[in-house]
Amino acid sequence: MSIFSKIAAGEIPSYKCAEDERFYAFLDINPVAYGHTLVIPREETDYIFDLDDKTLADLHVFAKKVAVALKQVVPCTKVGVAVLGLEVPHAHIHLVPMQTEGDMDFRKAKLQFSAEEMQALADKVYAAFKAL
């Protein structure tokens, strides 16, 4: 079971931003920008392009809703989208509220926020998502 499956199952804590029966979104613990969020299918597949077509499409539609909620909470120019998957073998989409191109640089030093800041942010995104 991947770490992200355990997160989606509630066995490992996360800063939950959104969920439904098939998908789950939570804050990245090593964010490249404030509001950096990961969106995953609950179903465990390593490589995103190994997902069946419907799951891949529905994952993106779910991520779109998360991005709308995120942009309401975190002022930004746009929400950037990236797929890397080099570290965790469970398909996921990175959503990054961007001010500049540099906000999408995954090689730079990661940002740090307190647990209270992370929880407050996640709660706001969760509320915004539920209100859509």
Residues that bind ligand AMP (CB under 6 A): 3, 14, 26, 28-30, 38, 84-88
Note if 92 is an active site residue.
Answer: yes
Q: Which of 36, 90, 92, 94 is catalytic?
A: 92
Q: Which is nearer to ligand AMP, 123 or 131 (CB)?
A: 123
In the block, which residue shows the tokens 């509630």?
10
Nearer to ligand AMP by Cβ, of 68 and 111: the residue is: 111
Q: Which is nearer to ligand AMP, 86 or 131 (CB)?
A: 86
Residue by residue, DSSP assigns 46-89 as SSGGGS-HHHHHHHHHHHHHHHHHHHHHS--SEEEEE---SS-S
CA atoms of 125 and 70, how far apart (whole Å): 6
Helix H or strand E encompassing 1: none
**Alpha carbon of 4 to those of 41, 50, 74: distances in Å?**
9, 17, 24
Question: What is the distance between the alpha carbons of residues 99 and 53, in angstroms, rounded to a whole number?
Answer: 32
- What is the smallest separation between the CB atom of 95 and ligand AMP, expressed in angstroms? 11
Nearer to ligand AMP by C-beta: 19 or 28? 28
Closest contact distance (angstroms) between CB of 33 and ligand AMP is: 11
Least distance to ligand AMP from the beta carbon of 30, Å? 3
In the complex, minimum distance from the CB of residue 26 to ligand AMP, in angstroms, rounded to a whole number: 6
Q: Which residues are catalytic?
A: 92
